[in-house]
Amino acid sequence: MLPVARHTFTELSRDGRFRLTAALLVVLTVVAGLAGWQQVRALRAEAAAAAAGERGRWLNQGDKNPHSAAHYGIYAFKEPRPLAVVDPGVQAYLGSTVYLEAHKQNEPLYRPAQDGTALQRFGDLSPALVGQALLPLLVILLGFAAFAGERERGTLRQLLALGVHPVDLLLGKALGFTAALALVLAPLAVLGIAAAAVLAPAGQRTDELLRAVTWAAAYAVYLGAFLFLTLAVSALARSPRTALVALLAFWLVGVVALPRALSDLGRTLHPTPSSIAFRTELEAALGDPHGRETLEAQRVAILKQYGVTKTQDLPVNWSGIALQFGEERANGLFDRFYQNLWSTLVAQDRIFQLGALLSPAPALQLVSQALAGNDTAQHFAFLTQAEHHRREMQRTLNGALRDSKGSTAAFAWGKIPPFVFSPPPFATALAPVTLSLALLVAWFAFTALLALASLRRLRA
């Protein structure tokens, strides 16, 4: 097995075309990684500056009614995640800031993708794109002739006649290719680990490093699946050319076309509601006059509790109570509406996940985004935390208003902590893509078995 591996590796490392392609891919990975690094740093500086400005403004509001401050609101920013360097995922298609104000759960604002040009639609160049789309192509180009070529030249028969066991031949070749591919995969892994080590905030470094290592491992498994598939097809095919055409067709359908078709299928089966319908229905529910009646009942109950007949006679400020009551009623509606919307998007992603039964590419795509922290689920985590912050902020401000009766002291604005997004830890981040992860590993196992099974055809 080892001599075969050594021979395969030496042959490859002497092949000028392999060296050129590998060098190009490494350069591409590094360029994309450095550009990503630069972008993450710029975005982070922008978000940090904006957040600091907002915080300063918030703290220096002086003597102001807490409810006016609540209306003025504050922006919550999401810093780019360290691994956005290697996989920006859906980052550009999401808002990176939410406006937190009284009475309203806002949608995230401002998606950089809207500023895009015609180029945007061809995709962003990132190390993830290199790993997901281009490296499988390299695997195919390296390996399509592994058995079919030897068969055509007649060397396969010789090898088998020499008593080399087919399984040894397969594993040896796989090992040799793996050694060659490791050279190309290494920069990807190094970039991810470096980004996690350097860019992660102190408390999250271990978590991010774990993500980075798993991220690189996922790409290794993915390429391993492509390698075994290539070897299997090469063993089964009549000629190297047939093997190449079949493998390229699989790449084209599985890596380029399938994700797009799946997304279309997802949208057809679980249509996204239109923004218009979503907003008008929400507004209608919020404006429901039924709310006024319940508020009135609440007022009567409070008056009874304090044994007074007029709100002016209450020892507390009624408007604080009324405002908080309104907040809580609206919160229930926001929860219902946004949960509905998000569950539609999750259902669409589910179709995408199932698509990994047909090709390993959708599986890796989701796992990679999840590990990089740039998938839809972790975006929802940001929105949920921001909304939680908004509600806490309203509760504190309305509480201050309620207890402000007879006092003229200005509200201590520092009582509202700054918003800091704490990303879900490794295990939580991976949970929504468990199926994808399982399918990715299943693809590896399946292709390995396929390659073993295809060995029977070698003697034919």
Partner 1 sequence: MNAFFHLCRWEVRRLLRTGTARATLGLLFVAGLLALGAADREIDRQAREIASLDAHYASALAVVAEHHAPRAHAGEIAYYTFFPTDHPAPALAKLSLGLRDLVPAAVWVRLLGLEGQLYSSAIGNPAIQALGPFDLAFVVCALAPLALLLLAHDLLSRDRDHGLLPLALTQAASLPRLFAARLLVRAAAVAAVCVALWVIALLWLALPFNLAALAWLADALLHLACWTAIAGLIAATCRSLSASLATAGTVWVGAVVVLPALLNLAVATAYPVPEGLALTVRQRQETHAGWDRPKPETFAQFFRTHPEWRDTAPVTVRFAWKWYYAMHQVGDTSVAADAATYRAHLLARAAATERLAWFVPPVAAQLLLSRRAGTDLESHLAYLDRIRAYHAQLQDHFLPLVFAEREITSADYAAFPRFRPVFSPASAGTALERLPLLLATFALAALSLRAVRRVTP
Q: Site residues for partner 1, window 427-446 (CB under 8 A)?
A: none
Scanning 1-9, 125-133, 220-228, 316-324 for contacts with partner 1 by CB under 8 A, the matching segment is: 125-133
Q: What is the SS3 assignment for the chain? A: CHHHHHHHHHHHHHCHHHHHHHHHHHHHHHHHHHHHHHHHHHHHHHHHHHHHHHHHHHHCCCCCCHHHHHHHCEEEECCCCHHHHCCCCCHHHCCCEEEEECCEECCCECCHHHHCCHHHHHCCCCHHHHHHHHHHHHHHHHHCCCCHHHHHHCHHHHHHHCCCCHHHHHHHHHHHHHHHHHHHHHHHHHHHHHHHHHHCCHHHHHHHHHHHHHHHHHHHHHHHHHHHHHHHHHHHCCCHHHHHHHHHHHHHHHHHHHHHHHHHHHHHHCCCCCHHHHHHHHHHHHCCCHHHHHHHHHHHHHHHHHCCCCHHHCCCCHHHHHHHHHHHHHHHHHHHHHHHHHHHHHHHHHHHHHHHHCCHHHHHHHHHHHHHCCCHHHHHHHHHHHHHHHHHHHHHHHHHHHCCCCCCCCCCHHHCCCCCCCCCCHHHHHHHHHHHHHHHHHHHHHHHHHHHHHHHHCCC
Closest CA to 211 of 88, 78, 83: 83
Contact between 336 and partner 1 per CB under 8 A: no
Q: Does 345 bind partner 1 (CB under 8 A)?
A: yes
- Give the residue with the Cβ less far from partner 1, 202 or 284: 284
Which 250-289 positions form the footprint of partner 1 (CB under 8 A)?
252, 256-257, 259-261, 263-264, 266-268, 271-280, 283-284, 287, 289
| Out of 6, 13, 21, 421, the residue judged to bind partner 1 by CB under 8 A | 21
Query: Which residues, 160 to 199, sit near partner 1 by CB under 8 A?
Result: none
- Supply the minimum distance, in Å, between the C-beta of residue 375 and partner 1: 7
Site string for partner 1, 197-226 (x = CB under 8 A): ------------------------------
Residue choice 1, 26, 35, 316 for contact with partner 1 (CB under 8 A): 35
Task: Compute the least distance from the CB of residue 125 to partner 1, in Å.
Answer: 3
CB of 147 to partner 1, least distance (A): 16
Query: Of 179 and 341, which has the nearer Cβ to partner 1?
Result: 341
C-beta of 258 vs 400, nearer to partner 1: 258
Binding residue (CB under 8 A) for partner 1 from 7, 157, 165, 241: 241
319 binds partner 1 (CB under 8 A): no
The CA distances from residue 126 to 211, 369, 413, in Å, are 17, 12, 42
Q: Confirm or reject binding of residue 312 to partner 1 (CB under 8 A).
A: no
Footprint of partner 1 on residues 128-157 (CB under 8 A)? 129, 133-134, 137, 141
Query: Looking at 126-134, 172-180, 196-204, 315-323, which segment touches partner 1 (CB under 8 A)?
Result: 126-134
* 124/327 with CB nearer partner 1: 124
Number of residues that bind partner 1 (CB under 8 A): 92
Binding of residue 64 to partner 1 (CB under 8 A)? yes
For partner 1, the binding residues in 79-108 under the rule CB under 8 A are 89-90, 92-97, 99, 107
In this chain, which stretch among 175-183, 226-234, 345-353, 449-457 interacts with partner 1, using CB under 8 A? 345-353
